[in-house]
Structure 1
Amino acid sequence: MSSLEYLSIYDSELEGGIPNSFAKLCRLRELDLGGSLSGQLSDFVETLSKCAQMTLESLDISNNPNISGSLPDLTNFLSLKYLSLWAIT
């Protein structure tokens, strides 16, 4: 999966945070996890940012009412152009 560029598991009814293996998605450009996460938002960003921070252009983590915490620093995501966080409580 290291060459994966687009991943959408929107509203997949999966539960939990993202697996540590997401840190190996070094070519990821678009990630849509709307309605699929729970846990700390900072843990999610920390796991993802290890490799994707240079390539990720679009991140959608909207509609995740089971995610908590404040918005972490996203300034390391140098290519990020689209960020959707609506309906996160």
Structure 2
Amino acid sequence: MNHKEKESVFLDLYDLYKEGELESESMEWMKQHEPLYQKNAEFLRSDSSTKRSPGAEEESKIRHMKVYLSSMYICFILLAIWMTVWFYF
């Protein structure tokens, strides 16, 4: 395994390692590699707690589209009213 692969395995197993839910062989491997990758694992762990939920960006886009469509609808109605008033006078 190369360095990147080892780091990704360590990061994937880090939470289970901290909770003590790994088998003894895996725990030993994690203990051996902890000094190398713990800093990255702690950084990712703290960074993930500040991120928004996975669907938050999609919800934001949907909300933006709803506001855009509503404003276009209102503009169309106002234009129709203005044209009707302008046509009759």
State the TM-score, normalized to the length of structure 2.
0.23
Q: Which structure: greater helix fraction?
A: 2
Give the TM-score of the pair, scaled to structure 1.
Answer: 0.23
Larger relative CO (CA 8 A, sep 6+): 1 or 2?
Answer: 1
Structure (1/2) with the larger strand percentage: 1
